[in-house]
Structures are given as C-alpha cells and as structure tokens.
Amino acid sequence: MKHTISALVRNRPGVLADMAQMFKTRGLNIRSLAAGETEDPGTSRLVICVEAENGDMDRVTQELQAMPEVIQVDDLARKEFVDRELLLVKVAMERETLTQLMQIFEVFRASVVGMGQESITVEMAGDQERVEGLIKLLKPFGIKSLCRSGMIALKRGDE
C-alpha cells in the first residue's frame, strides 16, 4: 500500500539522514521525498512517499515519532490531504509537432520556460496523477530530460 508520511522536524543537520537510515533498516524504498522549511525557520516538513504494509508503516511511524528531532508524524494515507508535485520536462520538438505540443501544454496548464531549436522545456504543478498523465502524453514526442520535485502534501481542513 502507498503511504504518504508528513513529518515536522527540528531544522538541524543529520535529521534527514537519520530518518532515511531508519527506512533503509526496515527494507523500505523511499519513492519520493521532499523537504523544506515551514513558516517557522527552526522547523522543516518532510513528505515521504513509500510502499509498505500497514503494520510496517505503524512501526515506522512509531519509530519516527520516537526520534528526538521529530515533532510530529502523520500517515496521510489515512487522512484527506492535498498534494502537489512540480515537473520540469524537456521534450523534443519539430516544427510539425509544435502546435500539438502547445495544445497538450494548454490542457495540462503547463508553462513553457525554455525553448531551443530542437526542444522545448515546460513546468507544471499538479497531483501525481496529472503529472503522470502529462508524461505519458509527451513520451511519443521524445522526452529528452525530466525532473520531478517529489510530492509535497498537507492535511485538508483545519487540523
């Protein structure tokens, strides 16, 4: 099962390495990781996506919560949440395909951020399904390079 873990941690050196080591020890592969400061510069939020059984994730969540630099841990897979991911993608471009590419970009609300003689670079923010959808449509044109930020997420509502 896919789990999205949101962890508030003290913004100190080594916290991310310690958390990653704990996932490694459990044999869990981190599929996506995003980290950044919150509204408080002394606190960072880490959003970690991992595939694991529910029992394994319960133990992981407990171990994370027990770490001294961890303030709060939530398994968002069990809650409603809003998620986004940033995608930068460079696609092969020919004069004959430019109109078709621009139509795809418009549908996905992707913005052109760079253009060369043989390629076009766009950015898009959206949930993972939308990002995957754009990538799937662009593959036949020839993806030259691609970079994804990893998912960021927050619980919905007032919690």
Place 91 in a pLDDT band, splitting at 50, 70 and 90.
Answer: very high
Strands (E), the chain: 2-10, 30-37, 43-51, 70-75, 81-92, 111-115, 119-126, 143-148, 152-155
- Residue with token string 């390629």: 119
Token couple for 89? 């993608």
Q: Mean pLDDT lowest for which of 46-55, 97-106, 109-118?
A: 46-55
- Domains, in order of start, for the chain: 2-79 (3.30.70.260), 82-155 (3.30.70.1150)
The 10s digit of each residue's pLDDT in 127-140 is 999 999 999 999 99
Which are the contacts of 37, defined by CB distance < 8 A and separation ≥ 6? 11, 43, 44
High-pLDDT (> 90) share of the chain, %: 77
The 10s digit of each residue's pLDDT in 9-43 is 999 999 999 999 999 988 899 999 999 999 999 99
Report phi then psi at 153, rounded to 5: -155, 150
On whether the pTM is more than 0.95, the answer is no
Return mean pLDDT, the chain.
Answer: 93
The 10s digit of each residue's pLDDT in 107-120 is 999 999 999 999 99
Token couple for 96? 């004959």
CA 94 to CA 101: how far, in whole Å? 10
